[in-house]
Amino acid sequence: MIGRIHGRLLEKTPPMILLDCHGVGYEVEVSMPTFYDLPEIGSEVTLLTHFIVREDAQLLFGFASIQERKIFRLLIKVNGIGAKVGLSILGGMTVDELMLAITNQESDLLIKIPGIGKKTAERLVLELKDKFKDDQIKIISNKEPTILEDIQNALIALGYSSKDVVTVTKELASDISLNDGIRQALKLLSKNL
């Protein structure tokens, strides 16, 4: 399986992009959030991928984050949800909104996504509500964010990966201030990289 791809961006035609990887051009279908975050044509790009081999096609799907790819893989395991619909769902709402809608069993929010009817929305909720209890997948809530969450969000906004941020912030004191927490986390991240 192809799990990651790195190359020079040659074309951007939603939802398809073309990456030049050492002289070989790979067509990669990307989610709309990933597409909007892509740099200019000619820039270097690294994407996490999901490779599907069918009788009539070999398809490569690209994602900017581990969480987005993980959600995509969960979506396509649901009966009646194919890769195209999975990408449509990821383009219709953010990963956090999707997880919150499924966790709260709000299938009416899912119906607003193109290609998702009432039965499909209910099936998504039924089959995925227990999957989001995995501690690797963060579910947002309506409560005020903690200082630790604020520190994590600030570091992610600076471009650090969620995985690295979570690992580093576990080492911080529980009563640390926001500014000190960001400063210490940046020091730890620079040592780890």
The per-residue pLDDT of the chain, averaged, comes to 86
Residue 26 confidence class, pLDDT cut points 50, 70, 90: very high
**Residue range(s) occupied by CATH 2.40.50.140 in the chain:** 4-63
Determine the length of the chain. 193
The tokens for 23 are 């002289």
- The CATH number corresponding to 147-192 among 1.20.120, 3.60.70, 1.10.8, 2.60.120 equals 1.10.8
pLDDT in tens, 100-154: 888 888 888 899 888 889 999 999 999 998 877 543 445 444 444 578 878 887 8
The class level of CATH for 4-63 reads mainly beta
Percent of the chain with pLDDT over 70: 92
When pLDDT is averaged across residues 169-178 and rounded to a whole number, the result is: 85
What are the helix (H) ranges across the chain?
32-36, 66-76, 83-92, 95-103, 107-110, 118-128, 147-157, 162-169, 178-192
Residue 28 confidence class, pLDDT cut points 50, 70, 90: very high
How would you classify the pairing of strands 44-53 and 24-30? unpaired
d(CA 142, CA 161): 24
The dotted CATH code for 67-133 is: 1.10.150.20
Phi, psi of 46 (to 5 degrees): -125, 125
pLDDT in tens, 84-98: 999 999 998 888 888
Count the Cβ atoms, other than its own, within 10 Å of residue 9. Answer: 18
**Residue range(s) occupied by CATH 1.10.8 in the chain:** 147-192
**Which pLDDT belongs to residue 139?**
46
Handedness of CA 154, 156, 158, 164 (dihedral sign): positive
DSSP symbols for 87-99: HHHHHHS-HHHHH
Overall pTM > 0.85: no
Is 35 in contact with 12 (CB distance < 8 Å)? Answer: yes
**Residue range(s) occupied by CATH 1.10.150.20 in the chain:** 67-133
When pLDDT is averaged across residues 46-74 and rounded to a whole number, the result is: 93
Q: Which residue shows structure tokens 């912030």?
A: 169
Nearest to 87 by CA among 6, 138, 19, 33: 33
